[in-house]
Structure 1
Amino acid sequence: MASSTENPVKVDLTTCSICFETFKTPKYFPCLHSFCEGCIKTYITTTFLQTKGGVNCPVCRMYVLKPEDISIDDWSSKLPTNHILVSLIDTNELKSGEKLCAACSRENESESATSWCINCGEALCKSCERYHRRNKFLSNHKVVDIENYGTTELPYNHKDIQCTEHPDKNVEAYCSDHSAICCMTCVMLKHRKCDNVGSIQDAAEELKKSKEVKSFKDALMELKKTLDALVECTMDNLQIFDKDIKKMKLDVDTLFTKLSHHLSQLKSDILSEISKIEKEVRPEIEDKHDEIKCKISTIENDLTLFQTNIKYAPPAQFLQAMEKLMEQRSILEQFVNEESQKLKEISVTFDANEKLQEIEKHIKVFGKVNIRRRNKADMLRSTDKQVNMSSVVPTTKQVDMSSVVPTLSSEVNEQDTVTGISVLENGLVLLSKWNNLNIELRDHQCSSVLSSLSLPGYPWGIKMTSDTEGAVAVEGHGLIIFNVQNNQITKIKEIRTNVNYDFVYHQGTYYIGCNKKIAVYDSNHHKVRDISVNNIVGYMAVRDDTSLCYTVWGGRELYCITMDGTPVFTYSHDKLQYTTGVTVDHAGYIYVCGCDSYNVHQLSHDGKLQRIIFDNLPSGPYCVSFNKHGDKAMIGCYNKVLSYDMK
């Protein structure tokens, strides 16, 4: 583990990454990257139409959805202000030059400030400071000398932070049970039964003294060390990739040259043969042509002699001439008869090689470019990067899901329908129990109940959205957000929707399946937009960073769409009936349950059937979940939970 002082990371927190100047009203995205309000407004305006419904963070490229009830022009102003940066900038300004008294400036007077009121966020001269302290309503304000301002900690005040539930109220309290800062209205309405509600100051002090905070920097440094190694891996990968691309292009050119040379030689050979035939056959046709023309000339001459003799020749000469002409006619008749019988039309044709003739039909591509992806842990090992990957990359070898053979390891009978299942990072299992109207946290074997949470309606899809937080879709109510800690399930809040059977959570955004739409909510549980679909959405799963899959209630298909609703593919099969649960494993394979066909289909990333991986199940499957390594699968059924070893 790296020490807390090793390789300190220095980042200029006061400079906007868009304009590269000191922040002017710093606003931040959910990824915590901050920008000037004016800069991010310009960025949003110029990029929003291209990104359909949101924008990518200019720094980390995280996709941020626009809230539904806010216009593009107002979005930047509605982003949360980074008050800690405001305090940091004020501190730097106070230390870098003379600061004028704010109270005097309002009266058009110029007095040098000597102190700073943390609560008011204003600089004060000696005279105004004295009156400030004497004022009964301001006497509890913390006033510090400008020289000492920010030497121990930033004089940050939460007076300007509004409650997310009640925007007209400032936050004043912290609920440890729900890990939430809130206003006093929230304390009275939502946290009155909570055992650990106190001041923000006390909560912050307690958190600063906790083991988690003390080890936080070391954990981040370890993560950075790992990411540095991954950056080196990607740089090495880029060099290898560029080398491979160069070699592939050379191979293509070489193959093309080889084929071109071979085809050119074949072309030359056939053209030579054509020229040879032309030289042999053409004179034969020409000679016959000339011979026939000569006979025509003979006939024309005989006709002239005949007409002359019949008109002018004496009888004796006429008889002699006619005898010769008759003889000549016989010779010509014989020639015509013979030539009419034996004259042949000579033509030539080209019969292309059958394989060449079918080349366009059978050879559609010049070749295939294969992309081989290796696990990032294998990349690090192959490059001899000495990094502790225990907290970042799983040490357990992940299963090759293309050839794995499932083996039934246990079958737990339930007196209920299991409509949702999720295998947690630690191996524990969450179940949605339909008839019982509750969710349960089970042990690794799914045989013992560790904790349960009663619900206001029928539960369906259930998933974890972080290490400790999850959600369950409740029919007719919406999404119930809950916390899982110390083997206990605690309800946090509820997102109300009309009809809801499942949801997915991806990059800080909830996609909730409803009636003929998918409702999109941000990480603060605020409605952003709707994605229109044709039916009631059943179960859902994230396919990749740009698309998701879903089934429809009572249907026989699996649909895949982009995050903005554009269709990608639709899958159906004769042996897939009444599609229910859907999930995606670590390798990108898609799994869809057929409740009435008693099976689970394994699909490729592009929606092609690989195989029916679970078939002839003892009960109709509603949901399927894999552990993080892919070596264990659990299927929730009508009255059973089936566990499989994937080897």
Structure 2
Amino acid sequence: MEIAPDKTDNLDDLLTCSICLETFREPKYLPCLHTFCKTCINTYILSTVRKEKTTTNFKCPICRQNVLMGESTGNPETWADKLPGNHFVASMMDRQAIRRSKKMCDSCKANNESKNALSWCIVCEEAFCESCEKCHKSFKMTAKHPIMLLNDLVSNKETVSISSLVYCEEHQGEIVKAYCVDHSKPLCTLCATLMHRKCEDVVTIEAAVQGIKKSEKAMTLSTELKETSKQLSDLIQNRKDRTTDFEREAQVMITKVSSIKDNIVKHLIKVEGLIEEEINKSKKEVSLKLFEKSVELESMKSTVDNWITIFDTCLQHGSELQCLLQINKINENKDNFSDLLTKGISEIKNFSMLLEVNDIVDEFSKQVAAIGVVKVIETDASCPNFLLRKTVNFHTGNINVNFVIDLTGNNVYLSGIFMNSELIFTHFKLSKVLKYNNNGCCLTYLSLPDKPFDIVQLSDTTAAVSTNNKTLFVVDIQKMIQCRKIDVLNEVHGFRHVNGEFILACNTTLTWINASSGAKIEQTSTNGDTYYIHANSRKDYICTDGKSVSKMVNNAKVFTYKSDKFLNPRGIDIDRDGNVYICGNVASNLHQLDKDGKLVRIIPVDSIGIKRPYVIRFKKNSNQFLVTCYETGKVVICEID
């Protein structure tokens, strides 16, 4: 696969801050990979937090993706400093600067002399004249530094980046020297020594980047991104076409009303204004909905196009290391983006307009107050399947066991989550949080002062744990240390984190508290002992009780599911298509419901090698899930094909 040169020959778009519209100064990037000047994003963050009164997150100025800064990042004034620097963009800025002007020798400049530079040291990132280059090569420490000619860079003869060194994002000033295959993560010496010493597959960075530009992984990602961009373009055009069609339908309705008016002119004069107002109102509302969806899709396309520009530029001009890092960064964001994309597509509706005309009777003016009712018909749009995730039939797909983890013990409360490329579990009897890799090998653990019940993810690096002692603990999963403790009024069993709030399940009560302060916000009662809950927002949640599972939206019950094969319901979660899964603890089965609460199938858990299922959790935007067993202390990692 050849990389088209047209987007990478001119780097101005890639090197221009979209806030100040000037060349980047100290470029910082967000999780969505959009990059901004440090001062620009800092000003934007401070403006946003003041306006929205938030202390934990802000939204990307371009794609509006939420950026969660967490609870322990200090004041918003420091957030821009904590954002990672975009070394690739900085490298391209150096390259562009050299190509556009005569570069002066940095060593001579330090001595208040001016000589044109002829070469560039990749390690020191400095330009040298001929004499300074000879001096540079004469020192033992710098003799082996690779040197490239500036003329070769200007003429694009040299493919190596002018900045081949990449610094660790975890440890300031440390150079990336290794790569952990187990976690798909570049490492400095400190990373390899402190956090990845137990990993089985750690290689040198040179070995990791060997052939990465021409690898199937790189080519597949490039193809996926471009196909997704094209599909989004088609979908945006479809929305615009539907807007035109809908407005045309609205105009047809108005014309029809006018035709009726000609037949019954005396009375129609009185009602014509009302019916036209209703039609125009519906047209405006629907057109606005279609326009808003187009804007949302354009925002998503902006993200994908940004990835394409960055990735194509990296393939054309970046080093092998930079290419690897960009692949990792994009892949890390694909799941979150696919989740947003899936949600956006599921909300797409088509609209039509109908006019239900009343029967005309002899005494029309006395009997009929209006000639019809305007109705807007909303239907699901036919949308393409996007390439960023595997197609799975969750209703009929086979359930395969990938591997089993034995956490030891019987009659034990176990919970777990997928977090990045690792598995995190809580063990009630051991009073521990356990970290395993995606091959089922234990990496490390953290002992807690109280016995843990459940665990939920807060950010990329932190999780919260509920306990039997009226406390919640916030844990840094990367470092496996306890960050802080939140005191609550009651013992907490299952809980969820949504929009800066915790939703706590205890006995027959659900309680909403502020995730930062622990202050109580709201409380409601359930129909029985509620152990676990799944929530999209404060007003949209699904919870179990002693005999059933119910979904509530805006304080109204959407559905309640009951079954004589449904005993002691416990853990609850949903897959990426919205299907609901509940652990029948005593009945030894899993009940799968569709998004409307109708039974899809009952899965006996002996088919996956456990006896009494307690907690079920899906990996975000994936067909993988885990189930814990109360009786045996085992956890099975499964996949629906």
Q: TM-score, normalised by structure 2?
A: 0.61
Correspondence for 1:599 among 548, 551, 554: 548
Q: Does 1:539 align with 2:498?
A: no
Aligned partners of 2:522, 2:247: CA distance in 1, in Å? 32
Aligned residues of 1:461 and 1:539 also touching (Cα < 8 A): no
Q: Note the alpha carbon deviations across 1:590-641, whole angstroms, 9 max, x for none.
A: 32112xx2322232x3242233203445531221234444567352515723
Aligned partners of 1:247, 1:562: CA distance in 2, in Å? 53
Equivalent position of 2:133 in the other structure: 129
Query: Secondary structure, in 3 states, of the residue corresponding to 1:177?
Result: coil
Aligned residues of 1:469 and 1:483 also touching (Cα < 8 A): yes
Correspondence for 1:512 among 433, 439, 464: 464
TM-aligned CA distance change 1:553 to 1:42, over 3 Å = same
Shift of 1:248: 12
Q: Does 1:138 align with 2:164?
A: no
Q: Does 1:472 align with 2:425?
A: yes
Aligned residues of 1:65 and 1:528 also touching (Cα < 8 A): no
Q: Note the alpha carbon deviations across 1:216-274, whole angstroms, 9 max, x for none.
A: 101111121222233234434655787899999999xx99975999xxxxxxxxxxxxx
Q: How does 1:163-562 map to 2 (within 5 A)?
A: 164=170, 166-167=171-172, 169-205=174-210, 207-236=212-241, 372=378, 374=380, 378-380=381-383, 387=384, 389=386, 428=399, 443=401, 450-452=403-405, 454=407, 460-465=414-419, 469-475=422-428, 480=434, 482-484=436-438, 488-491=439-442, 500-505=452-457, 512-514=464-466, 516=471, 519=474, 534-541=489-496, 546=499, 550-557=503-510, 559=512
The percentage of aligned residue pairs carrying the same residue is 24
Aligned residues of 1:94 and 1:146 also touching (Cα < 8 A): yes
Equivalent position of 1:162 in the other structure: 168
Shift of 1:135: 0.6
Aligned partners of 2:218, 2:21: CA distance in 1, in Å? 31
Aligned partners of 1:17, 1:634: CA distance in 2, in Å? 46
Query: Secondary structure, in 3 states, of the residue corresponding to 1:379?
Result: coil
Aligned partners of 1:528, 1:20: CA distance in 2, in Å? 39
Amino acid at match of 1:462: G
Shift of 1:566: 9.2
Q: Note the alpha carbon deviations across 1:564-605, whole angstroms, 9 max, x for none.
A: 9898864423xx22211223599x9732112xx2322232x3
Query: Secondary structure, in 3 states, of the residue corresponding to 1:224?
Result: helix
Amino acid at match of 1:551: L
Aligned residues of 1:504 and 1:542 also touching (Cα < 8 A): yes
Aligned partners of 1:464, 1:94: CA distance in 2, in Å? 46
TM-aligned CA distance change 1:581 to 1:370, over 3 Å = farther
Q: Does 1:641 align with 2:589?
A: yes
Q: Which runs of 5+ in 1 are unaligned?
A: 262-366, 381-386, 400-408, 410-425, 429-441, 444-448
Shift of 1:480: 4.6
Shift of 1:562: 9.1
Aligned residues of 1:600 and 1:614 also touching (Cα < 8 A): yes
Equivalent position of 2:541 in the other structure: 590
TM-aligned CA distance change 1:548 to 1:638, over 3 Å = farther
Q: Note the alpha carbon deviations across 1:109-166, whole angstroms, 9 max, x for none.
A: 111111111111111111111111111011121111112236314233335x2352x4
TM-aligned CA distance change 1:249 to 1:182, over 3 Å = farther
Amino acid at match of 1:152: T
TM-aligned CA distance change 1:453 to 1:189, over 3 Å = farther
Query: Secondary structure, in 3 states, of the residue corresponding to 2:440?
Result: strand
Aligned residues of 2:510 and 2:525 also touching (Cα < 8 A): yes
Equivalent position of 1:579 in the other structure: 530
Aligned partners of 1:215, 1:86: CA distance in 2, in Å? 26
Shift of 1:390: 5.9
Query: Secondary structure, in 3 states, of the residue corresponding to 2:405?
Result: strand
Aligned residues of 2:120 and 2:162 also touching (Cα < 8 A): no
The number of residues matched between the two structures is 471
Correspondence for 2:64 among 50, 61, 80: 61
Q: Does 1:111 align with 2:81?
A: no
Amino acid at match of 1:192: R
Equivalent position of 2:612 in the other structure: none
TM-aligned CA distance change 1:226 to 1:557, over 3 Å = same
Aligned partners of 1:644, 1:178: CA distance in 2, in Å? 32
Aligned partners of 1:71, 1:248: CA distance in 2, in Å? 56
Aligned partners of 2:179, 2:561: CA distance in 1, in Å? 49
Q: Pick which of 623-632 and 21-30 moved more.
A: 623-632
Correspondence for 1:100 among 104, 112, 124: 104
TM-aligned CA distance change 1:602 to 1:203, over 3 Å = same
Amino acid at match of 1:56: K
Shift of 1:37: 1.0
Aligned partners of 1:231, 1:616: CA distance in 2, in Å? 48
Q: Pick which of 133-142 and 503-512 moved more.
A: 503-512
Amino acid at match of 2:404: S
TM-aligned CA distance change 1:585 to 1:30, over 3 Å = closer
Aligned partners of 1:494, 1:193: CA distance in 2, in Å? 13
TM-aligned CA distance change 1:255 to 1:88, over 3 Å = farther
Query: Secondary structure, in 3 states, of the residue corresponding to 2:141?
Result: coil
Aligned residues of 1:548 and 1:560 also touching (Cα < 8 A): yes
Q: Pick which of 495-504 and 608-617 moved more.
A: 495-504
Correspondence for 1:610 among 558, 562, 566: 558
Aligned partners of 1:559, 1:49: CA distance in 2, in Å? 24
Shift of 1:452: 1.6
Query: Secondary structure, in 3 states, of the residue corresponding to 1:222?
Result: helix
Aligned partners of 1:616, 1:217: CA distance in 2, in Å? 51
Correspondence for 1:77 among 67, 75, 81: 81
Aligned partners of 1:211, 1:172: CA distance in 2, in Å? 23
Query: Secondary structure, in 3 states, of the residue corresponding to 1:501?
Result: strand
Bigger Rg, structure 1 or 2: 1
Aligned residues of 2:567 and 2:584 also touching (Cα < 8 A): no
Shift of 1:50: 2.4
Shift of 1:206: 5.1
Q: Which runs of 5+ in 2 are unaligned?
A: 258-266, 275-372, 594-598, 601-641
Aligned residues of 1:480 and 1:495 also touching (Cα < 8 A): yes
Aligned partners of 1:477, 1:167: CA distance in 2, in Å? 34
Aligned residues of 1:113 and 1:124 also touching (Cα < 8 A): yes
Query: Secondary structure, in 3 states, of the residue corresponding to 2:43?
Result: helix
TM-aligned CA distance change 1:501 to 1:229, over 3 Å = farther
Q: Does 1:35 align with 2:41?
A: no
Aligned residues of 1:600 and 1:615 also touching (Cα < 8 A): no
Aligned partners of 1:89, 1:461: CA distance in 2, in Å? 48
RMSD: 4.7
TM-aligned CA distance change 1:532 to 1:60, over 3 Å = farther
TM-aligned CA distance change 1:591 to 1:237, over 3 Å = farther
Aligned partners of 1:23, 1:69: CA distance in 2, in Å? 24
Aligned residues of 2:572 and 2:580 also touching (Cα < 8 A): no
Aligned partners of 2:419, 2:440: CA distance in 1, in Å? 14
Shift of 1:197: 1.6
Shift of 1:25: 1.0
TM-aligned CA distance change 1:111 to 1:40, over 3 Å = same
Query: Secondary structure, in 3 states, of the residue corresponding to 1:623?
Result: strand
Aligned residues of 2:28 and 2:86 also touching (Cα < 8 A): yes
